[in-house]
Structure 1
């Protein structure tokens, strides 16, 4: 299993726009990406400008399809001007998970 964890900070006042842009990607994943096995979005309770995603892919090809999708391109078109600093990405091999 390949995973990506992303830490994303929006500029103050842009939280709702960032939230919707992330939810739009999640909707695309749900409707179009069977090999994306999980796509989780979190918004920090005490700092609503801070978002994280946790993404689980069946294999590297699924991750590459997701990352090159039109939905991800649209997300970055929206997010780029409202980012408060760089996006931190960690791509990893999942070594443990609680079965669902």
Structure 2
């Protein structure tokens, strides 16, 4: 399993726009990407402009399809002007997972 963890910061006042853009990607994933096993979005309770995603893919090809999809491109078109710093991406091989 390949995973991506992303740390994304929105400029103050743009938290709702960032959240909505991320949720739109998640909706696309749920409807169209069966090989994306999980797409989780979190928003910090103490820093509302701080978002993290955790994405799980069956393999490299699934991750590549997701990352080159039109909804991801649309997301970055919306997000780039409202980013507060660079997006931090960590791509990993999953070692263990506990799901309930």
Partner in structure 2 of residue 22 of structure 1 = 22
User: What are the within-5 Å matches in structure 2 for residues 43-62 of structure 1?
Assistant: 43-62=43-62
Partner in structure 1 of residue 34 of structure 2 = 34
Deviation, 1:92, is: 0.2
User: What are the within-5 Å matches in structure 2 for residues 76-87 of structure 1?
Assistant: 76-87=76-87
Superposition TM-score, scaled by structure 1 size: 0.99
Structure 1, gaps ≥5 residues long: none
- Corresponding pairs, count: 100
Structure 1 stretches of 4+ with a deviation exceeding 4 A read none
Provide the C-alpha distance between the structure 2 equivalents of 1:60 and 1:49, rounded to a whole number of angstroms.
30
State whether structure 2 residue 86 is matched by structure 1 residue 75: no
Partner in structure 2 of residue 88 of structure 1 = 88
Deviation, 1:99, is: 3.8
Partner in structure 2 of residue 64 of structure 1 = 64
Superposition TM-score, scaled by structure 2 size: 0.99
CA offsets, 1:11-60, max 9 Å, x none? 00000000000000000000000000000000000000000000000000
Q: Give the alignment's Cα RMSD to 1 decimal.
A: 0.6
Provide the C-alpha distance between the structure 2 equivalents of 1:80 and 1:49, rounded to a whole number of angstroms.
14
